[in-house]
Amino acid sequence: METLDRRRFLLMSALACAAPAAPALAANDRYAASPYRRLTDADWKRRLSPDAYRVLRHEATERPGSSPLNHEKRRGTFHCAGCGLAMFKSDFKFESGTGWPSFFRVLPGAIGTKVDNTLGMRRTEYHCAQCLGHHGHLFPDGPKPTGLRYCNNGLALTFRPA
């Protein structure tokens, strides 16, 4: 048990240290010129439902168990609800028991990360690489093969069946 806790600690520390503080300013940011980055807060408020707006633009969290995507089992792809960027394949989804859609892998280039020190702890927050909308947090307690859990707000996603 001590080894498992040590592994979790080391993995979480590595994730937190590797997370850039300002992902939108990264030199290799392929979405830097995205029109979604030029939308104002008022634009986002008009485009999104009030709940999705609070999650995606103001880092709120939906109530656990409230998302219909928790029960989504069809083959397809989960996309950012803010801009439509593909983020997760349905094959990456698993039941985490947390009440939020959870994935053990993300599509390459789909997210950016930053350190989140709210709630009195250091966590890794992730967001859409294209529109910078908040999606959730990354934890080192997922299943094999990655051991990661991308804990996503369902309001930040849409599902497109294959």
Residues serving a catalytic function are 151
Report the side by side order of strands in the sheet with 149-152.
93-94, 102-103, 149-152, 134-139, 123-128, 111-116
Among 116, 151, 156, 106, CA closest to 134: 156
β-bridge partners, 43: none
Fill in the amino acid letter for 125.
Answer: E
CA atoms within 13 A on the CB side of 86: 10
